[in-house]
Amino acid sequence: MHTIVLGASGQLGQCLKEVAQRKNVTTIGFPDEREGNILDRAQLERLFEKERPRYVINCAAYTAVDKAEDETDLAAAINRTGAENVAIACRAVGAVLIHISTDFVFEGNRPALLNENDPAEPVSVYGLTKLQGEQAIAGQLPEHFILRTSWLYSEFANNFVKTMLRLGKDREELGVIVDQVGSPTYAIDLAEAILTIISSESTAYGTYHYSNEGAISWYDFAKTIFELAHYSVRVKPLKTSEYPTKARRPAFSVMDKSRIKETLSISVPYWKDSLKACLSVLLPEKN
């Protein structure tokens, strides 16, 4: 296999499978978690030795943001140690690693676009363990692309868009956070970007930001979902203080995509256009 996807059963893994099928790319392997367990370095090394991949895409992660505050050891094992295991196994066979990270590595306390060189100061266990994973990869394997993304959704797995559609069927009113601003990312678009990087065979390794263009609050996102789905739901703006969670979230985490666009020639769709594309799959009867 030219490329191996770890975490293949997750949202992005399923999107990569979908995009690969559309493009008729047949040299990508999607091992299940038993064969591609990132917590078992010896198993990974056996898998990579057998397949000799040129690229490895690591989508495996602990992403339960609030639970991570209590399950710190498990979050660290997957997001930090697991990422390091993948990097070491890649190094052994000369593979390039494409690793998915998050806007949660930033504190997000100022209203300015975040670029790759801004200080990473996470305010949650999830964000900290993802940052530690980035650092572990950089320490083990120069040949890597770290892609930080945000607010991931798609027609697969559980995500904000699907939750809003489910709740919107039965509810007349919903409260949604208005003072956290970021950029949604259609996971199909991110999958397209990853496969573009692979096909380019670029050696401009390093950290890049990728989300859809634009900046909105969760409140604005929910309102747009309901408008495009033709659901009559009143959306009530909530302050973060009115909806306390165990983990802190960045208040403003809109990332600057200039580097990935200019260095890797990646096109970045506008968030609303991508949302329409996703809803056309989730709600074909509305289109």
Just list the catalytic residues: 126
**DSSP for residue 69:** G
Tokens of 130: 């993802």
Task: Mark 99-123 as b/e (b = at least 16 C-beta within 10 Å).
Answer: bbbbbbbbbbeeeeebebebebebb
As a whole number of angstroms, the distance between CA 3 and CA 72 comes to: 31
> Does residue 104 contact residue 127 with C-beta atoms inside 8 Å?
yes
Give which of 133, 69, 65, 74 is closest to 104, Cα–Cα.
65
Tokens of 76: 């660290």
Residue 21 has phi, psi (to 5 degrees) of: -65, -40
As a whole number of angstroms, the distance between CA 84 and CA 253 comes to: 26
As a whole number of angstroms, the distance between CA 211 and CA 78 comes to: 23
